[in-house]
């Protein structure tokens, strides 16, 4: 019954049985914006309809998360939208908003409390909080990546302490940056952790398309084919 073969309906039936047998009560789907094709501006209606049927038949709670465009998938499917409550928006934290500032500090403190075996610089200081804000642009996903890269390196080297320099390396390894722009590393010693309009504008660009760079694929020992102009025109 549990093989990977079969039609869509057969696989759906097997999935429903499995969900019921395991006592599953909720399904959480991340990156829900992939149901929406930004290139063609088309919604995967078939997939959305299938999801609605699955939730109804298996009697599941459904939670989805994703970028703002994922709301188009829900709003343009009347039956699916009727199964959702109001959306909870989680914009990036803004340093100039007092409530955002306080929440960002609390989240950074939660990371510190969750990693008690490691020695960090004082993450509760205004200096370090602002450095982390500039590094992440107020996006918690980047905070996770910076901690992950930094601690993986520390563990590989058998260290239980993390310095400002270690965070600088972790930041550099964790975040793709466009080399055509002047992007700072806020964990360098010579970085001035004093909030200014210029620095805050740079921080707000973290995570935007302008600051992202796709990895450059390099091919070892690759040489372009040498052909004559006549051969090129004949193709």
Over residues 217-235, the pLDDT tens digits come to 433 443 444 544 445 444 4
Structure tokens that stand for 223 in this block: 């040489």
Using CA atoms, how far apart are residues 47 and 194, in angstroms rounded to an integer? 49
pLDDT value for 226: 52
pLDDT value for 39: 67
Using CA atoms, how far apart are residues 73 and 23, in angstroms rounded to an integer? 28
- Asked whether 211 and 178 are in contact (CB, 8 A), the reply is yes
Three-class secondary structure assignment of 83-97: CCCCCCCCCCCCCCC
Cα-atom radius of gyration of the chain, to the nearest Å? 24
- Confidence band for 56, pLDDT divided at 50, 70 and 90: confident
**How confident is the model over 75-102, as pLDDT tens digits?**
777 777 777 887 888 889 999 999 999 9
Sequence-distant contacts of 73-82: CB under 8 A, at least 24 apart: 73/32, 73/33, 73/35, 73/36, 73/43, 73/44, 73/48, 76/43, 77/43, 77/45, 77/48, 77/49, 77/52, 79/49, 79/52, 80/48, 80/49, 80/51, 80/52
The ranges assigned to domains in the chain are 8-81, 98-211
pTM for the complete prediction?
Answer: 0.68
Which has more confidence, 84 or 141? 141
């Amino acid at each position: 019954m549990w093989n990977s073969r079969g039609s869509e309906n057969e696989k759906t039936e097997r999935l429903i049985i499995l969900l019921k047998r395991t006592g599953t009560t909720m399904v959480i789907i991340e990156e829900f914006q992939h149901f929406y094709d930004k290139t063609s501006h088309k919604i995967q209606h078939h997939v959305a309809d299938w999801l609605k049927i699955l939730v109804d038949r298996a009697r599941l709670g459904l939670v989805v998360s994703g970028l703002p465009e994922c709301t188009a998938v829900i709003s343009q499917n009347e039956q699916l939208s009727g199964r959702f409550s109001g959306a909870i928006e989680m914009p990036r934290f803004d340093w100039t908003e007092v409530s955002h500032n306080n929440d960002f500090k609390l989240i950074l403190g939660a990371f510190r409390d969750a990693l008690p075996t490691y020695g960090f610089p004082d993450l509760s200081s205004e200096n370090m909080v602002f450095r982390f804000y500039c590094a992440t642009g107020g996006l918690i996903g980047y905070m996770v990546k910076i901690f992950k890269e930094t601690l993986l390196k520390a563990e590989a080297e058998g260290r239980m302490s993390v310095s400002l320099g270690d965070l600088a390396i972790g930041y550099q390894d964790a975040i793709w940056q466009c080399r055509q722009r002047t992007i700072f590393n806020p964990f360098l010693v010579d970085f001035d952790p004093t909030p200014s309009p210029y620095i805050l504008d740079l921080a707000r660009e973290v995570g935007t398309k302008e600051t992202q760079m796709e990895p450059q694929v390099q091919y070892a020992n690759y040489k372009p084919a040498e052909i004559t102009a006549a051969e090129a025109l004949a193709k």
